[in-house]
Amino acid sequence: MVEKNSEEYEGSARWVLACELQRLREESGKSLAQLAEETNYDRTYLHRLETGERFSKLPVMEALDRAYATGGLLMRLWGLARLDVFKDKYREFMRLEAKATIMQKYATVVPGLLQTEEFAREAMALAPASASPDELEANVVARLGRQELLHRSPPPDVRIILDESALRRPASTPEIWHDQLTRIVSATEAPHMTIQVIPFSAGLHGLMGGSLSLLWMADGSSVAYVEGNNSGDLIEEAREVARYRLTYDRLRDAALSPHDSAVFMRQLVEDSRP
């Protein structure tokens, strides 16, 4: 039986994953030391996964799936458990995001899909709600886990419009910020990814003060997700979604072209070198 240090996870997918990790190891007859040697992960860390104290990164689940020959079961459970890390208001949006075929996003900060691990950790540590070190790490892992959807086969078609402010507000160290800008520029090289910049010179526009995500599914249905400070709204009514799509199209027309955006961002990378 998994000993939970926090009862808040009991009955959740994260709790099921922890229980399954312990069950599989016990049934295999492996000690934590043996498992650590086989997977190259620290035994204390593996133990904390089994008790639910820590939430892993996807490669850990891949290694454990191989160790137990579970055919991807643990990776599938991890995908469900990742949703438990996020607040309820985000879960339905994330479920839809994970299967969207087309994504269009506008952001005033570096979006989670483009964040490096160090930048994500710093950004989440500054959130108003306090979190323990373990909770912070679980949140970071969950955020980075969303990036797996960019590597699906076939991947979704993604367009992200970044407000210039997202590219002008640096991290705490030049190294973290340079790596983050480099990560954004490298993303533009993917054939399914388009990134544009809406410069300050474009003036006022209809999406100031928040972020917007538009998602299209394989069946042609679409939703919009509007997010402000500590609030989010999932919009499914077709007429409202169309209104946000029109606003997004106008913003795209005002943004720098993909080529000019890449030139703009590469210069920022050069300027940010430590």
Together in a domain, 162 and 231: yes
State the pLDDT at residue 3. Answer: 41
Please check whether residue 105 is in contact with residue 213, taking contact to mean a CB–CB distance below 8 angstroms. Answer: yes
Q: What is the mean pLDDT of each run of 10 residues along the chain (274 residues)?
A: 47 86 94 93 89 83 94 89 66 86 96 96 83 85 90 95 96 97 96 97 91 94 84 84 95 97 97 93
Per the structure, the count of domains in the chain is 2
State the pLDDT at residue 120. Answer: 96
Distance, in Å, from the CA atom of 83 to the CA atom of 75, rounded to the nearest integer, reads 13
> What CATH number does residue 19 fall under?
1.10.260.40
Please check whether residue 141 is in contact with residue 48, taking contact to mean a CB–CB distance below 8 angstroms. Answer: no
Tell me whether residue 3 is in a domain.
Answer: no
pTM score, whole prediction: 0.73
Together in a domain, 38 and 106: no
The last residue of a domain, from among 64, 83, 102: 83
Together in a domain, 73 and 178: no
Q: What is the DSSP string of 111-141?
A: -GGG--HHHHHHHHHTSSS---HHHHHHHHH
- Using one digit for the tens of pLDDT, what is the confidence trace for 166-202? 999 999 999 999 999 999 999 999 999 999 999 999 9
Together in a domain, 162 and 194: yes
State the pLDDT at residue 14. Answer: 82
The last residue of a domain, from among 35, 51, 83: 83
Token pair recorded at residue 142: 């969950």
Tell me whether residue 1 is in a domain.
Answer: no
Domain range for 218: 92-271
DSSP class of residue 230 equals T
> What CATH number does residue 195 fall under?
3.30.870
